[in-house]
């Protein structure tokens, strides 16, 4: 199959991608509303970068742990400290969801 790379075809593809992106954002937003209504634990955590002190609020996945996190400011790849299961436990303002609910994760 030959890919049509003419400016018109490329523009059309970009437009479709834009629409898909908007759609996924809408879906994500509606999901967030449901989650905050039904689950009490906090699933947002403010990560503080140990290198530069940069802080950012991140949403935590409820069913898994995050091992690697890249600081937006200094681009350093953060890894959990020894004994911690994820970067949220090491650098976040709240522990990861599995710990909050008392389940052992990983
Ligand atoms: Zn940093």
Average per-residue pLDDT in the chain? 85
Q: How far is the CA of 43 from the centre of ligand 1 (A)?
A: 22
Joined together, the tokens standing for residue 1 give: 């199959």
Q: How far is the CA of 91 from the centre of ligand 1 (A)?
A: 11
The tens digit of pLDDT for each residue in 29-81 reads 776 655 555 555 568 999 999 999 999 999 988 877 889 999 999 999 999 99
At 55 the three-state DSSP class reads strand
Q: How far is the CA of 26 from the centre of ligand 1 (A)?
A: 30
At 53 the three-state DSSP class reads coil
CA–CA distance, 95 with 85 (Å, rounded to integer): 10
Joined together, the tokens standing for residue 80 give: 């959990």
Given this model, what pLDDT does residue 91 score? Answer: 96
Neighbours of 89 (CB within 10 A): 20
Given this model, what pLDDT does residue 41 score? Answer: 57
CA–CA distance, 101 with 63 (Å, rounded to integer): 11
The tens digit of pLDDT for each residue in 7-27 reads 999 999 999 999 999 998 888
């Amino acid at each position: 199959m030959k890919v049509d790379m003419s400016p018109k075809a490329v523009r059309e593809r970009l437009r479709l991608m834009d629409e898909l992106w908007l759609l996924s954002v809408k879906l994500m937003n509606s999901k967030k509303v449901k989650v905050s209504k039904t689950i009490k634990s906090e699933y947002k955590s403010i990560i503080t970068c140990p290198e530069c002190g940069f802080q950012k609020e991140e949403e935590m996945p409820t069913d898994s742990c995050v091992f690697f996190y890249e600081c937006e400011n200094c681009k350093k790849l953060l890894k959990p400290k020894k004994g911690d299961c994820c970067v949220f436990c090491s650098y976040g303002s709240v522990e990861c969801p599995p710990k909050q609910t008392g389940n052992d994760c990983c």
